[in-house]
Amino acid sequence: MDALVNKRIKQVLKGDQHAYSDIVSLYQQKVYQVCFRMLNNQHEAEDIAQEAFIRAYTNLHTFDLERKFSTWLFRIATNLCIDRIRKKKPDYYLDAEVTGTDGLDLYSQISSNDRLPEEEVERMELQERIQYEISCLPDKYRMVIILKYIEELPLQEISDVLDMPLGTVKTRIHRGREALRKQLSNL
C-alpha cells in the first residue's frame, strides 16, 4: 500500500491534483474515526477530518517519502483535533500545566463533575456507551486510548504520531486504562 501511496503523492506533486482523491479514499475512514472519537461530534469531526486532508495536501512537498504517510497524516489530524478542543476550552493551557505532574487528580475532577446520572448511562446501548465512556476520558488519555485500541497502532507509532517519548505514551495508556476501569467499575 505504501508503494501505491508514494506513487500517488509523486503524481500530486507533479501537479495532478486528481491523484489526491485516491489518497483521501484510502485514509478517510481512519482519519474520520480518530476525529469523531476525539471530538465526539459528527459535524466537527467531518470538518476537522477534511481540514486534515487539505493541510496534508498543501504541505505535501514537505512530506518525507521515506516515512510512513499514515503517521504523518495522523499527526496533522491529531494536532487539529487538539487545537479544536483547545479553542473550545480557554483553560486548556491550565490543564496542560497540571498534566506536567501527571496525576490522576485531574481525571477524578473532570469525571465526577461531568458524568451523566448513572441511570441514564445504564440505559445506553453498547456502542453509545462506549463512545460516552471514551468521551469522559481526559483529552490526553483519550487520544492514546483511541490510537491504541480503536486504530490499533503499535506503541512506537503512537509515539511518532504524537511526537512524544515512548515512555510518556505508555504512562498515558496506563493511566487511561485505569481511568476507564474506574469509570466502568460498576458495569
Partner 1 sequence: MSTCPEHIVQYMHEYLDGDISREHEQELRAHMQNCKDCQKHMQELTSTIAFVKSAAVIEVPPNFVEQVMQRLPKRKMRSGVQRWLRRHPFLVAAAMFCIFMSASLFSGYKNDQEFSVTKQPNLQVEGQTVIVPEGKTVKGDIVVKNGDIVVKGAVDGNITVINGKYMASTANVTGQIEEVDEVFEWLWYKIKSNAKSAWSFIDKNE
Which residues of the chain form contacts with partner 1 (CB under 8 A)?
15, 17-18, 20-21, 24-25, 28-29, 32-33, 36-37, 42, 46, 49-50, 53-59, 62, 64, 67, 72, 75-76, 79, 83, 126-127, 130-131, 133-134, 145, 149-150, 155, 163, 170, 173-174, 177-178, 180-181, 184-185, 187
Cβ proximity to partner 1: between 110 and 170 the closer is 170
Cell numbers at 102, concatenated: 501527571
Grid cell locating 87: 479553542
3-state secondary structure 15-71: CCHHHHHHHHHHHHHHHHHHHHHHHCCHHHHHHHHHHHHHHHHHCHHHCCCCCCHHH
Question: Least Å distance between CB 106 and partner 1?
Answer: 19
Residue 52 falls in which region: left (phi positive, over 0), alpha (psi -120 to 50) or beta = alpha
Cα(157)–Cα(163) distance, rounded to whole angstroms? 9
In 3D space, the residue among 128, 165, 164, 161 whose CA is nearest the CA of residue 146 turns out to be 161
* Min separation Cβ 120 and partner 1, Å: 18
In the complex with partner 1, which residue's Cβ is closer, 57 or 98? 57
**Nearer of residues 3 and 126 to partner 1, judged by Cβ:** 126
How far, rounded to the nearest angstrom, does the alpha carbon of residue 11 sit from its chain's CA centroid? 28
Toward partner 1, which CB reaches closer, 106 or 133? 133
Q: How far is the CB of 91 from partner 1 (least distance, A)?
A: 19
Residue 69 or 106 having the CB closest to partner 1: 69
Nearest approach, Cβ of residue 154 and partner 1 (Å): 10
Q: Residue 157's closest CA among 77, 67, 80?
A: 67
Minimum CB separation of residue 42 from partner 1 in Å reads 7
